Chains A and B, each alone.
Chain A
């Protein structure tokens, strides 16, 4: 039997899971606080725009968005399988395709800032 190539997707999934578990709740909280009018100068448009313009800022934003997408894609693939849909190849191409597209768009938009 040939060894599996699933480690590529699983490692993105695992890394994305870690990011999602630690960063996403914090982002959700901060966004909610800002939305409800908390006074946070750090999170005004200009500072965030400046952060996204800095190379390390770009890298951090890229990591969070793309890894979250790959995590969600793999999770969705497994969930669809668990729900009894027996079309793994089609599902895999679709969800990974979307994650790949999202990754590309993230790069494009970040480079344009």
Chain B
């Protein structure tokens, strides 16, 4: 197994004591099959126990280790050392306030995510005795891709629009609204549209497409947002030109 000495530049910042962020460089002996998260763990275990970052599963499922790696939003557990040179710079996700080092404050995303009601709102409640809600494979296929989101927030770090307009509901939240709207068991679209079809909802999106480029689970949030725009436009014409038509 080949080993390579990497200079890992880590952004260090404690808002309570530091006046501004700074970079600290660690020299890390990396195995070629390591990911950036392994290098960070090496630092934490052997060089500096004070470095703070989030991680859990180490297999691109939990969505905790999102960070900027050489300026690009990536999961540290999916960014292989062999794809980089001898110098790797890691910073906290862009567009989020820093809590400590690579740990960001994600309250804004959590609140936005909750606001689109990311759960099934059945058209009509059935008693358990009425049996299960059935769904065909074709109906499942309509939204399955959007269920793969792991809430890693890389799309928010990549979205220039979210950087400019922090009120923007953002890619993951709108894609998740779309996921439930497309579900044949769901009847909650009208409630979600109150948040999604606003200026600060889907209409803040200018289709840069960076969200889909960085998404580690290939959810394609940009595609979801364009579908939401088409559906919201049809709604608008129905509401304004044919108010007598029931949705």
Say which one of B33-41, B63-71, B83-91, B228-236 lies at the interface with A.
Answer: B228-236
Residue of B198, B229, B233 near A2 (CB, 8 A) is B198
New contact pairs (13) apart from A4-B197, A4-B199, A7-B203, CB-CB < 8 Å: A1-B194, A1-B195, A4-B203, A5-B236, A6-B203, A7-B235, A7-B237, A10-B233, A14-B233, A78-B206, A81-B206, A82-B206, A84-B164
B160 interface residue, CB < 8 Å from A?
A: yes
- B binding-site residues for A, Cβ under 8 Å: 160, 164, 193-195, 197-201, 203, 206, 208, 229-230, 232-233, 235-237
A11 interface residue, CB < 8 Å from B?
A: yes
Residues from 71 to 91 in A contacting B, C-beta threshold 8 Å: 78, 81-82, 84
* Complex Cα spacing A2 to B198, Å: 6
- Determine the chain B residues whose CB is within 8 A of the CB of A78 once the complex forms: 206
Name the residue of chain A whose CB is nearest to the CB of B198. Answer: A1
Sample of 20 A–B contacts (CB below 8 Å): A1-B198, A1-B201, A3-B197, A3-B198, A4-B199, A4-B201, A4-B203, A4-B232, A7-B203, A7-B229, A7-B233, A7-B235, A8-B236, A10-B203, A10-B233, A78-B206, A81-B164, A81-B206, A82-B160, A82-B208
Residues from 1 to 51 in A contacting B, C-beta threshold 8 Å: 1-8, 10-11, 14
| A7 x B232 contact (CB < 8 A) | yes
Q: How many A-B contacts are there with CB distance less than 8 Å?
A: 45
| A3 x B230 contact (CB < 8 A) | no
Interface of B: prevailing SS: helix
- Determine the chain A residues whose CB is within 8 A of the CB of B230 once the complex forms: 14
Interface residues on chain A, number (Cβ under 8 Å): 15
- Determine the chain A residues whose CB is within 8 A of the CB of B160 once the complex forms: 82
| A10 x B229 contact (CB < 8 A) | yes
Residue of A3, A6, A84 near B193 (CB, 8 A) is A3
B194 CB to closest chain A CB, in angstroms? 7
| A3 x B208 contact (CB < 8 A) | no
Pick the most buried of B160, B164, B233, B237: most chain A CB atoms within 10 A of its CB: B233
- Determine the chain B residues whose CB is within 8 A of the CB of A11 once the complex forms: 233, 236-237
B231 CB to closest chain A CB, in angstroms? 10
- Determine the chain B residues whose CB is within 8 A of the CB of A2 once the complex forms: 198
Name the residue of chain B whose CB is nearest to the CB of A84. Answer: B164
* Complex Cα spacing A54 to B194, Å: 45
* Complex Cα spacing A54 to B75, Å: 60
B191 CB to closest chain A CB, in angstroms? 13
A24 CB to closest chain B CB, in angstroms? 19
- Determine the chain A residues whose CB is within 8 A of the CB of B208 once the complex forms: 82
* Complex Cα spacing A56 to B168, Å: 43
* Complex Cα spacing A85 to B161, Å: 13
Name the residue of chain B whose CB is nearest to the CB of A5. Answer: B236
* Complex Cα spacing A4 to B196, Å: 9
- Determine the chain B residues whose CB is within 8 A of the CB of A81 once the complex forms: 164, 206
B106 CB to closest chain A CB, in angstroms? 22
| B206 x A6 contact (CB < 8 A) | no
* Complex Cα spacing A81 to B204, Å: 11
B181 CB to closest chain A CB, in angstroms? 15
* Complex Cα spacing A112 to B193, Å: 45
- Determine the chain A residues whose CB is within 8 A of the CB of B194 once the complex forms: 1, 3
